[in-house]
């Protein structure tokens, strides 16, 4: 248990989880006070998922780049479990809202977008580093929410985050992103930080 506590602390997990919970409370209050519908709108749900994923992005790397690559620890398994835990955490937080007067769902949409955005974030962390890993999910998701396209297959793929929960194209896209990100992050870990970024930690 001591090792787990040290790992969570080194990954700033308490701060990230607290931030994620605070974000969801804020989004819940905004919907509860500004809408008569008990079901949160799809755009609100997608944006909430995006913000929760962004809040947990800081946990994808620790303070020591070299330690993240030492062969003394089973990093691939730890990284994979880390991402799966993040998926369960976000899904669990949004599932709790099903018991309230402002429900964020359906859970099929929550799981699809959470898995896809976590995968995209993990892939970004492996390629450009954790500090900037939230940029691609943010830009892509905002574009998808603002300009959803459903008339053709390419449009549904490019705006998969904003598609109906029943969309097969969106589900396949999210699954591919989730698996690609999981594999890349588990195998290689986060990209090393630039000296300036490392010095600011």
Can you give the pLDDT at residue 97?
A: 98
Task: Write out the chain's pLDDT in tens, 201 residues.
Answer: 777 788 888 889 999 999 999 999 999 999 999 999 999 999 999 999 999 999 999 999 988 766 666 655 678 999 999 999 999 999 999 999 999 999 999 999 999 999 999 999 999 999 999 999 999 999 999 999 999 888 899 999 999 999 999 999 999 999 999 999 999 999 999 998 765 555 454
Three-class SS of residue 190? coil
Tally: H helices and E strands in the chain = 9, 0
Alpha-carbon separation of residue 88 from 9, 102, 151 (angstroms): 19, 20, 32
Q: How far is it, in rounded angstroms, from Cα 13 to Cα 69? A: 20
Question: Cα separation of 26 and 33, whole Å?
Answer: 11
Helix axes 75-96, 13-34, angle to 10 degrees: 20
Q: What's the pLDDT score for residue 35?
A: 95
Indicate the length of the chain as a whole number. 201
Are the CB atoms for 119 and 178 separated by under 8 Å?
Answer: yes
Helices 107-128 and 135-146, packing angle to 10 deg: 140
pLDDT at residue 4, rounded to an integer: 78
- Sorted by sequence, the CB contacts under 8 Å of residue 74 that are 6+ apart come out as none
Two structure tokens written together for 173: 């896209």
pLDDT the model gives residue 69: 64
C-alpha triplet 190, 195, 199: angle, nearest 5°: 100
Tell me the pTM.
0.92
């Amino acid at each position: 248990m001591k090792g787990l506590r040290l790992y969570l602390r080194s990954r700033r997990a308490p701060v990230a989880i607290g931030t994620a919970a605070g974000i969801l409370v804020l989004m819940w209050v905004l919907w509860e006070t500004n809408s008569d519908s008990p079901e949160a709108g799809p755009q609100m749900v997608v944006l909430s998922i995006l913000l929760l994923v962004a809040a947990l992005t800081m946990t994808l790397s620790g303070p020591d780049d070299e330690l993240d690559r030492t062969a003394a620890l089973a990093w691939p398994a730890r990284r994979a479990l880390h991402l799966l835990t993040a998926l369960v955490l976000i899904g669990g937080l949004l599932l709790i809202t099903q018991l309230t007067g402002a429900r964020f769902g359906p859970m099929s949409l929550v799981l699809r977008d959470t898995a896809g955005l976590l995968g995209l974030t993990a892939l970004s962390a492996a390629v450009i580093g954790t500090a900037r890993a939230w940029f691609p999910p943010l830009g892509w998701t905002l574009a998808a929410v603002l300009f959803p396209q459903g008339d053709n297959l390419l449009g549904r793929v490019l705006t998969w985050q904003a598609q109906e929960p029943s969309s097969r194209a969106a589900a396949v896209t999210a699954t591919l992103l989730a698996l690609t990100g999981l594999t890349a992050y588990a195998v290689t870990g986060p990209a090393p930080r630039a000296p300036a970024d490392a010095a600011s930690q």
